[in-house]
Amino acid sequence: MSHLEFADVPHPDELVRAEAKRRHATLIKPVESLGRLEELGAWIAACQGTCPPRPVARPRVVVFAGDHGVAAKGVSAYPAGVTAQLVNALLKDEGVPTALAPVAGAGLRVVDISVDGETAAQEFKVRKGSGSIDTEDALSPEETEAALQAGVDIANAEVDAGADLLIAGDLGVGVSTPSSVLIAALTGTEPVAVVGRGSGIDDNAWMRKAAVIRDALRRARTVLTDPTALLRVASGADLAAMTGFLAQAAIRRTPVLLDGLAASAAALVAEELAPNARGWWAAAHRCAEPAHDLALDHLDLKPILDLGIRLGEAAGALTALPVLAMAVRLLSDVATYDSAGVAPPETP
């Protein structure tokens, strides 16, 4: 059992959500004519506890980087050493999220949790690489605890510094394999149904990945009732840190845009550790991995975008962020029929 206890998660304010929906009906547009944008704006209003909601002023992305022992089994298109190179490229503003974040108006932080190499972002480093989960545990009990605590501490630091929306991104060769195992375990799905192409693997690598997931899932199912043990056996330090981050964001009443496969896998475990946390999350997009749909269905979340993105690194969430910002602005900036002096539609 974990020594780290997560507090009860409050619910977003349902009275404010209802008020936001009523407000939408008074704005100078046909009723419900903006579809999901109306739902998303009402969700942010409920998270903030105020209607109209305040603009999203300080969104923050944290990219959790780590290596995975399964990469040595040929489950990725990249060798494991690439993760450290990618982290250092991000720190030099050369990566995908560093291109997208300024456009979306988001701050970006990169954290090396378990990269198998040296980087310049090691403040919260738990270990170098995580165990090969088909044959051994990903982490020791102490490392699992340290990774969860790192995620909690990072979430607290970001919220304390003024973040009003959080995004967790992943970066690591092989991360889609433990992510798929966690999702298969918690949704009761057979291994073959969750095996995706990840980094762009060929058929032979896909078969190797399917075998690794099958063996890891067999081990994961023995600890299914204990979320912390599940992280120890079948995740990785990066995924465990993301889990703590997502749970703590909810406890701190801070909305989160979930990115792709890894973030959704961590979210499934976070919901087990801190029930009701999912009320504070929105699904940014549907990624191209088959396990992602299973995770979103389990969390009862509908993706905002569907662009075939499978990268991770918060790419999908950063792309969806401006849509969410627009949804908030509609509630705060569009005039009502009364204030604009516009005749409302006739009621039948």
Position 89 pLDDT exceeds 80? yes
pLDDT digits (tens, 9 = 90+) for 181-194: 999 999 999 998 99
pLDDT band at residue 1 using 50, 70 and 90 as cut-offs: very low
Contact, 208 vs 74, CB < 8 A?
A: yes
Position 3 pLDDT exceeds 80? no
For the chain, which domains are there? 59-321 (3.40.50.10210)
Taking the model in full, what pTM does it have?
0.97
pLDDT band at residue 198 using 50, 70 and 90 as cut-offs: confident
As a whole number, mean pLDDT of residues 42-66 equals: 98
- pLDDT averaged over every residue in the chain: 96
320/304 Cα distance (integer angstroms): 7
Residue 74: strand pairing partners:
none
pLDDT band at residue 197 using 50, 70 and 90 as cut-offs: confident
Check residue 314 and give left, alpha or beta (phi > 0: left; psi -120 to 50: alpha): left
Residue 86: strand pairing partners:
none
- Catalytic positions are 313
- φ/ψ of residue 169, rounded to 5: -110, 160
pLDDT band at residue 5 using 50, 70 and 90 as cut-offs: confident
pLDDT band at residue 69 using 50, 70 and 90 as cut-offs: very high
Cβ within 8 Å of residue 294, ≥6 positions away: 183, 184, 187, 189, 193, 194
As a whole number, mean pLDDT of residues 166-176 equals: 96
Whether the CA torsion 253, 257, 262, 268 is positive or negative: it is positive
